[in-house]
Amino acid sequence: MLFPTALVGSYPQPEWLIDRKKLAGRFPPRVRARDLWRVPEPFLREAQDDATLLAIQAQEAAGLDIVGIWHSHPDHPARPSETDRASAWPEWSYVIISLQRDGVRELRSWRLNGADFEEEVIRA
């Protein structure tokens, strides 16, 4: 169940960043496909970061408080990776679910504290 103000999604994909016609023609969509992006490869990561920041600013301007990010680690433990560390913000929680062939293995939450992640207690 989601609260009325909860958002779940993926990285923002504005028209200036991704070719929506090409994206719509794929099933399942594969945003890692190089031909979908409108920005040249050397600038893509920065453009994706810019799109994310613009989306965050729009959500905050609408009165939403962003408290964290959740994502899955298929066939890997629910611990932050180096990729997670490179894009983490210290004030947010990072909930990671470990998905294995037999189902969900574990669900853990982390917060960046300096250069290291510290595990948070999840209470339901």
Report the domain count for the chain: 2
CA–CA separation, 37 and 53 (whole Å): 18
What pLDDT shows up at residue 28? 57
Asked whether residue 5 is assigned to any structural domain, the reply reads: no
60 lies in the same domain as 78: no
- Do 79 and 101 reside in the same domain of the chain? yes
Structure tokens at 40: 């040249």
Indicate whether 2 belongs to any domain.
no
In a domain, 90, yes or no: yes
Q: Do 87 and 56 share a structural domain?
A: no
Please report, in tens digits, the pLDDT of each residue of the chain (124 residues total).
444 545 555 667 788 888 888 877 766 555 567 788 899 999 988 898 888 888 888 888 998 888 888 888 888 899 999 988 888 888 899 999 998 888 888 999 999 999 899 999 998 7
pLDDT score of 94:
93
**Range(s) of the domain holding residue 90:** 67-124
Is 55 within the bounds of a domain?
yes
From residue 54, alpha-carbon distances to 13, 42, 47, 80 in Å are 11, 20, 10, 24
Question: What pLDDT, on the 0 to 100 scale, is given for residue 120?
Answer: 95
Domain at 101, CATH number = 3.40.140.10
75 and 36 in a common domain = no
Query: Which pLDDT does position 32 carry in this prediction?
Result: 67
